[in-house]
Structure 1
Amino acid sequence: MTNLIPSFGNIAFTMLFFVIALSVIVAIHEYGHYIVGRWSGIHADVFSIGFGKVIWSRADKHGTVWQIAALPFGGYVKFKGDSNAASVGGDENVVSGRDTMLGAPLWARSATVAAGPIFNFILSFIVFAGILLFQGQPITPLTVSALPGFPENIEQQLEPGDRVLKVEGVALNYPDGFSAAVANVPSQPSVEYEVQRDGERMLVRGPQPQPAYVQSITPRSAADDADLRIGDVIVSLNGAPVFQFGDMVEIVNETRAQPIELVVWRDGETFTTTLTPRLMAILQADGSMMDEPKLGIGNGGLFFEPATTDVGIGESMKLAIQQVWFIIKQSLNGLKQMIVGNINTCNLSGPVGIAETSGSMASQGTLAFISFIAVLSTAVGMLNLFPIPILDGGHLCFHAYEAVTGKMPSDGALRILMAIGLALIGTLMLFAIGNDLLFCP
């Protein structure tokens, strides 16, 4: 079995960033319930981050107790009259009051319930838009801002400030024409670029436009377990030299799930490591998903850092909305493909897998970790809208029933449905934990 967390230092690092990610997402989700409930006239008795023994608390001027509990793996808002954090049942003496969850108008209760997932989506939107505003977008034509290191056998004559016009005689239009330009480049250590430098056009040699260069690492992948790092250059696979990222893809596809020996260049030195590709769900051109062998090494763009220009607020907002919607669609598609058996259920991670991913993304940098929080927040918002009793989506189904029939489900029926929902979620959680620890090392 794969050594999930090989040292105490890694345990502490992983748990720290898991708690940070989870706390941020839960706090935003629960704050959505709280603030919309308050706006709707529903009083919150307790706003808690974590469960169990309270280690800090204070009451605000509205009479809500804000607290942090000892177990930082979730949180809740307890509204007035509720007997529990799930807003099921309550004190009959106060439950009918206008400022209680069950005594408030249907519109107020529905808005309060829906606000949690909506605030998760808003968090993701703000993060994605903020990253776009911070990073900007590459200027046209592509201009080199900074260059990484490469092995000595790869000629490197590009310089910061160069405006890259062509590669091997093909216009390098980024991003629209990038794939077409890369497809025409021969597999060799270095290629010819036409650049504009200090107002003059010239030909220089440089690395492949998409070299065997590690730009990102998929958490819990073979590359992650082997401690490959961003900036590593893959020199060969199974003794065959690789110059383009596409060379690696071909070799991995041929070997499938057989071990592969990699020679890796890092900071002027080379070392050898052995990885076994893992099946990962990959989006196909027709919109379906299929398991393909992958090392978990990402290289989807330029090897150099391009000069950028500011992205307008309107454009960043549009792209952020598209990103949130894309994550939702892909998550639902992936779930569908697992149900019908097109992809492996190992693609479903539990808390251990999410914790590992938190640590892995944090090790790749601040932006990677913040982006991960945004992706996870979208997933949490989507999951909570599933029509399962105990989740927000289940509560909204109860409200829909009330809107149609004019009456709430009976307290006994609610308790039975909640027990069924808890059993479903518990079963799913146990299955996901089994994936993390036993079935999908």
Structure 2
Amino acid sequence: METFISVVIIFGVLIAIHEFGHLIVAKKSGILCREYAIGFGPKLFSIKKGETVYTLRLLPIGGFVRMAGEDPEIIDIKPGHRIGLLFNHQQHVSKIIINHLDKYPDAKLVTVETADLEKDLVIKGYDSEDGELIEYPLDREAEYVVDEQAFQIAPLDRQFSSKTKTARFLTIFAGPFMNFLLAFVIFVVYFSIQGVPSNAPKLGQLVENNPAIQAGLHQGDRVIQIDEQPINAWQDIMTYVNHHPNSLLTFTIERNNQQQKIDVKTNARKGPSGKQEGFIGVYAPTKHSFVASLKGGVSQTYFWIKQELVGLKMLVTGAVGLDQLSGPVGIYNVTGQFVSQGFLIVLNWAAFLSINLGIINLLPLPALDGGRLLFIIVEALRGKPIDPQRESIVHFIGFALLMLLMVVVTWNDIQKVFLH
């Protein structure tokens, strides 16, 4: 249960931040955002603030911002349609009642001749009382009511498709960017708590039941030399110790402004190269400062972005296969392992997942943010927009292929976790 709650919280935050990026830039660009949703499926909770409905949905597997102009409008008012109209104090239409007209006795009943809810913002219709053809201007924030649910109309200049290529590009890019920003913030918090690794020739945290602490070394001791080897940096300590497994080393240290010598017998373990390496159970020293935490956040975010890109390159070139990818089951399993290791480990894992989500979304594949950005770039190169219907078909096919890939990856995860 602890793992499940952790996964829901982590992915809930990652998705919420991602979609918030889309939402805030869209609103700044003047795009009407109908809904900001976390999850898919049936609504569990919803609240409307301003012109946007904020919803929490049942399946925590994603989220979306529904922007006007991305999809066909919810209702199409055609000639001959009988509707009801409610007016504001300026005598502009404030509500268009599409059905259940009997529930709105104050509405003016009209038979539609023409309706333009995007450009001219006007409805022409025949008055039900005298049959006269009348033109009714619409308020820019007028709503149409379907099954007693209100939806704001979207004038053309409030639609996603009407915005400049730069505004659309930034709106889409803002989602992945927020994931990178979130990772940076998490790393800054992590380093503020844990401290930033330093290359100073000092001893950091000592591990219980290991040679360093057993020999009497203390955290914060400054190492001047080991045997006859001068020490100028933490890396010098690590290099010398690694090269002397199962050896008795003499540490010359400075503690409380006094020098002393301490003999330490190293242990041995197999290193990455397969050879025996010495170790004494000491972590690198750390320093605590806001500036150091900021620098650590930048360097760690850059490092993991670079590692993700290297991994993608290996996948594309065939250096690694699809069986090396992890999906929801694999991520759930790894998260469970990290949860048992403490809050700071989970914090690091959340930052990595945020970077992963940002990188994956920027891939130039249909149905992902990267695919949508690619269409905007192609539009800029062509000098004219791509047919929306064709773009929708490409995104649909891309989404189907992504779902197929998810099934394959999930099956691989199940085999790794449960069948091995």
Q: 1:15 aligns with which of 1, 4, 13?
A: 4
Q: d(CA) in 1 for partners of 2:284 and 2:392?
A: 57
Change (3 A) 1:176 1:247: closer
TM superposition shift of 1:319: 3.8
Please state if 1:416 is matched with 2:393: yes
Q: d(CA) in 2 for partners of 1:67 and 1:368?
A: 31
Q: d(CA) in 2 for partners of 1:330 and 1:186?
A: 31
| Secondary structure in structure 2 of the residue aligned to 1:387 | coil
Q: d(CA) in 1 for partners of 2:330 and 2:255?
A: 48
Structure 2 equivalent of residue 185 of structure 1: 244
Q: 1:133 aligns with which of 174, 182, 192?
A: 192
> Pairwise mapping of residues 397-408 of structure 1 onto structure 2 (< 5 A)?
397-408=374-385
Q: d(CA) in 2 for partners of 1:88 and 1:302?
A: 62
TM superposition shift of 1:400: 1.6
Change (3 A) 1:354 1:302: farther
Q: 1:103 aligns with which of 134, 153, 162?
A: 162
Q: d(CA) in 1 for partners of 2:197 and 2:36?
A: 43
| Secondary structure in structure 2 of the residue aligned to 1:244 | strand
Q: d(CA) in 2 for partners of 1:78 and 1:49?
A: 11
Structure 1 equivalent of residue 67 of structure 2: 79
Q: d(CA) in 2 for partners of 1:104 and 1:395?
A: 14
Structure 2 equivalent of residue 352 of structure 1: 329
Structure 1 equivalent of residue 41 of structure 2: 52
Letter matched to residue 16 of structure 2: A
> Deviation digits for residues 74-94 of structure 1, max 9, x if unmatched?
21111134xxxxx34445745
> Deviation digits for residues 162-215 of structure 1, max 9, x if unmatched?
333333443444444244323432324x6432222333222223463xxxxxxx
Greater C-alpha radius of gyration: 2
Please state if 1:366 is matched with 2:306: no
Q: d(CA) in 2 for partners of 1:393 and 1:140?
A: 39
Please state if 1:323 is matched with 2:300: yes
TM superposition shift of 1:432: 1.2
Change (3 A) 1:90 1:399: farther
**Contact 1:167–1:185, Cα closer than 8 Å, also in 2:** no
Change (3 A) 1:20 1:333: same
Please state if 1:25 is matched with 2:14: yes
Letter matched to residue 436 of structure 1: D
Q: 1:309 aligns with which of 287, 308, 311?
A: 287
Structure 1 equivalent of residue 274 of structure 2: 250
Structure 2 equivalent of residue 36 of structure 1: 25
Please state if 1:195 is matched with 2:219: no
> Deviation digits for residues 85-137 of structure 1, max 9, x if unmatched?
xx344457456621122233322221111100111111111222332333334
Q: d(CA) in 1 for partners of 2:52 and 2:202?
A: 54
**Contact 1:47–1:65, Cα closer than 8 Å, also in 2:** yes
| Secondary structure in structure 1 of the residue aligned to 2:209 | coil
> Pairwise mapping of residues 261-276 of structure 1 onto structure 2 (< 5 A)?
none
**Contact 2:192–2:293, Cα closer than 8 Å, also in 1:** yes
**Contact 1:154–1:207, Cα closer than 8 Å, also in 2:** no
Q: What runs of 5+ residues in structure 1 fail to find an aligned partner?
A: 1-11, 82-86, 209-242, 253-298
Aligned length: 342
**Contact 1:26–1:74, Cα closer than 8 Å, also in 2:** yes
| Secondary structure in structure 2 of the residue aligned to 1:109 | helix
Structure 1 equivalent of residue 263 of structure 2: 205
**Contact 1:168–1:185, Cα closer than 8 Å, also in 2:** no
> Deviation digits for residues 227-278 of structure 1, max 9, x if unmatched?
xxxxxxxxxxxxxxxx2233686389xxxxxxxxxxxxxxxxxxxxxxxxxx
Letter matched to residue 196 of structure 1: E
| Secondary structure in structure 2 of the residue aligned to 1:51 | strand
TM superposition shift of 1:16: 1.4
Please state if 1:117 is matched with 2:141: no
TM superposition shift of 1:14: 2.0
Letter matched to residue 150 of structure 1: N
CA RMSD, aligned part only?
Answer: 3.1
TM-score, with structure 2 as normaliser = 0.72
Q: d(CA) in 2 for partners of 1:394 and 1:300?
A: 50
> Deviation digits for residues 373-426 of structure 1, max 9, x if unmatched?
111111111111111111111111111222233432223202220122112211
Letter matched to residue 35 of structure 1: I
> Deviation digits for residues 125-155 of structure 1, max 9, x if unmatched?
1222332333334567544465332169994
Change (3 A) 1:404 1:16: same
Q: d(CA) in 2 for partners of 1:308 and 1:46?
A: 45
> Deviation digits for residues 18-48 of structure 1, max 9, x if unmatched?
1111111101100000001111111211111
Change (3 A) 1:77 1:185: same
**Contact 1:29–1:120, Cα closer than 8 Å, also in 2:** yes
